[in-house]
A and B are shown apart, each in its own frame.
Chain A
Amino acid sequence: MSYILDQEQLDGLEEALTTDLMTLGIQSVILIDMAGNVIVNLDDGKVRHDVYSLAALAAGNFGAVSAMASIIGEEEFSLLFHKGKSENINFTKIMDDFLLVSIFGNDVSLGYLRLKIDEVIKKVKVLIEQTRST
């Protein structure tokens, strides 16, 4: 399955992710595909990390964890979250082809962030499915 996203869709994705997630005061939100390609990259302006390596590693990490899930007889894990001292990362799968990577500090509750992510995923799915190609 391959997707072609036009500027309108990309703008829509950026808006949805900004309005629903970035306004919570989180550090950054990256929408990637499962091959590690960056589709949307948003941050709070203070971030200077190598987002392309981060994306490739995130996709690889997700792939590795999915393989682990299979080994232990699980279809997938519903929570993929790494806790740091001051920054944390959460991964959420969107459909079968995309991954939402959120980087946030300790002032945002993970549970609440996941609620917001569930909401924004609905919008993201609608936008991505607007034009589809096989």
Chain B
Amino acid sequence: MAFINTKTKEVQVKLVFVGPGRGGKTTNLEYIFSRIRHRIESDMVSIKTQGDRTLFFDFLPFELGAIKGYNVKTQLYTVPGQVKYNATRKLVLKGVDGIVFVADSMVDRRENNITALNNLSENLHFYDIDIAELPLVFQYNKRDLATEGIPILDVETMEKDLNATLKAPSFTASALKGDNVIPTVKKAISTTMVAIREKLL
């Protein structure tokens, strides 16, 4: 839930990166952090297992500064993708304002993408949020695998599987290489901020 202080003119939004396990959510945040760390005060917080799987969340807060008189603050979170961490995932989604769905382009992860999206929808429903009403951006990650000879799904298939009804903005990307990571998060932030302003101000 966006935090808006009309007195101090501060807006704070929570964006969560969601998707199947090992899809690249944490990699997205790590790349974003590497790009902005020289201009932010806080560190990125990662609560993960020894095997580098997200256990609770990754967290990256930053201030965008004043825009039209409003001090805009953003909090990026990732959730654990593994199925067994659903209780934890639900916790992290509490108060979410916008979503980046990081889908795994690998062919054998097709089902996992769909399951993760359904799970997201269920978890949002728990908080009385309709996924169709929430600002959402799709990222079809790991496109770089094609160059290594690993079979990946084509974008049309992924759009049909995941984005047929929602018709949300989508980006192909490679979080590992940093391709389209920034455009994804920029789109997510702007969509979310505009939606909040429209709703509450």
Contacts and interface: CB of A to CB of B under 8 A. Distances in A.
B45 A60 contact: no
A57 B88 contact: yes
B40 interface: no
B86 A63 contact: no
Nearest to A63: B47
Interface stretch (B50-58, B114-122, B131-139, B141-149): B50-58
A66 B48 CA distance: 11
A38 to B, nearest CB: 10
Given A36-B55, A63-B56, A57 B50 contact: no
Given A59-B55, A60-B55, A60-B56, A34 B49 contact: yes
B85 A64 contact: no
Interface in A9-52: 34-36, 50, 52
Kindly state the interface size class of chain B when it binds its partner.
10 to 19
A57 B91 contact: yes
A50 B46 CA distance: 26
Contacts of A34: 49-50, 55
B87 A57 contact: yes
B79 to A, nearest CB: 11
Contacts of B85: 36, 56, 60
Contacts of B88: 56-57, 60
B84 A67 contact: no
Contacts of A61: 56
B47 A64 contact: yes
A69 to B, nearest CB: 12
Given A53-B87, A57-B91, A64-B47, 6 more contacts: A34-B49, A34-B55, A35-B51, A36-B84, A67-B46, A97-B50
Interface of A: 1, 34-36, 50, 52-53, 56-57, 59-61, 63-64, 66-67, 97
Interface of B: 45-51, 53, 55-56, 80, 84-88, 91
17 contacts: A1-B50, A34-B55, A35-B51, A35-B53, A35-B55, A36-B85, A53-B87, A56-B85, A57-B87, A57-B88, A57-B91, A59-B55, A60-B56, A60-B88, A60-B91, A63-B55, A97-B50
